[in-house]
A and B are shown apart, each in its own frame.
Chain A
Amino acid sequence: MHPDESVLWRFVDEELSTSVREDVARHLSDCAGCAGRLEELRGSSVSITRALATLDHDAPHVPVDAVRSISRARGRRRRSLAAAAVLLVVASSAAAALPGSPLRRIVQRWLGEPARAPASSTIKPDQAGSTKAERPRTASGIAFAAGESVTVDFAASPVTGELRIRFADGADVIATGSSARTRYALTGRGVTVTPGDSGSFDLEIPRRTDPVRVRIAGHVVFAKVNGRVTTEGTRDSSGTLHLRFSSHQRDLP
């Protein structure tokens, strides 16, 4: 008996049990009709493969560490939400204000709560995905998955204090501050920081994010466009940029 088309396909797909496969092979050697049909199916299989291959794009270069850091960031966020219920109200309103991306919403997380524990125990360098040797005291902060570009807006200039900007290999923008009164709101382009108090602020920005703009009270104090950095800050030996806050921020040329 001639095997039907589905059996022949199973033969092509190597989905037959050994005994059935042997039976079919025996038949094919005696039956030119079925052997011809089998060749047609093999031809179909090849042409389907070729056709579908025309649809392909190059796979993106996603580093395995990006996957790990997203996963860890979510874990951190779960832990910090459990630990710091007081921040939940602000966090959820920020999340609600976020347009579009659920991934950003999931990744964003809050760091630290000084009233209960010193920041050093809240953010360990390995947890933060950062190799920074000494992170200053952190009382508030936000982290979110970086877009292609990011704009960080300080709504007002603190009277005194410092802003430090560093570039890291991670996938998240991390903004932290020494004051617990500082508020962070995600915008479509990045984050708006309302300082609340004087103090120091740290910005960690993924290296590949470009363009980057940092503004204080509407004035651009840092810009990176096509890899070119313009800033009035000074760079220390570790590559971190330091900007002094003052009440007279000037726009960059």
Chain B
Amino acid sequence: MNPPDTFEADFRRVFDERFPALFRYLDRLCADPDLAADLAQEAFVRLYERKTMPLEVRTWLVAVSSNLLRDERRRRSRRRRLLLGRAASDLMGDSEPSPDAGPLRAEVRQMVRAALDTLPERDAQLLLLREEGLSYREIALALGLNEVSVGTLLLRARAAFQTAMEARPYAS
């Protein structure tokens, strides 16, 4: 049990450190920055309501937001409306990719998106979580996998992603 003031301080630190990375992961995964922002925010609301820090806060946040994403997709199959009344566009300006967004970059981006979308969701998650620097053990925890299998699954996911990229003109 953390005393409340310790939790408040920890929460602020974790929020500052982890919110952008969680948003990035979710945005890459679901290709919807508004939804990613909502999910990341909601995961932190859940963390705050918990009143204590989980031992593995990074994997906890990934696991919670993955569940939220799954729930949201289920909901969306019934209804098109977004999660939050406040659209993230109000928080984030526009939805163009951040640095030096040019026409070439936009094409590359489409290519990468299409390649990533050929992967089964779990493979995409493996790839993206590794990009966020999670260890095999943390990835296993976050996705509910056996740690021993992460190496093999990740290898296949990387190979599949690269094959999908190479199948397109921007492979270089």
Contacts and interface: CB of A to CB of B under 8 A. Distances in A.
Contacts, number: 137
A212 to B, nearest CB: 13
A44 B38 CA distance: 32
Contacts of B86: 145-148, 171
Interface in A98-121: 99-104
Contacts of B109: 54-55
Contact of B85 (A49, A55, A58, A146): A146
Contact of A100 (B42, B81, B112): B81
Given A103-B84, A104-B85, A145-B85, A60 B151 contact: no
Interface residues of B, number: 60
A56 interface: yes
Contacts of A58: 92-93, 98
Nearest to B8: A68
A108 B84 CA distance: 13
Interface of A: 5-6, 9-10, 13, 15, 44-45, 47-49, 51-52, 54-62, 64, 66-68, 70-71, 74-75, 99-104, 144-148, 171, 208
29 contacts: A5-B155, A9-B154, A9-B158, A10-B136, A49-B131, A51-B165, A52-B116, A52-B127, A55-B31, A55-B109, A57-B98, A58-B93, A58-B98, A59-B20, A60-B91, A62-B37, A64-B11, A64-B15, A66-B41, A74-B45, A99-B81, A100-B79, A101-B84, A101-B85, A103-B84, A146-B85, A147-B86, A148-B87, A171-B86
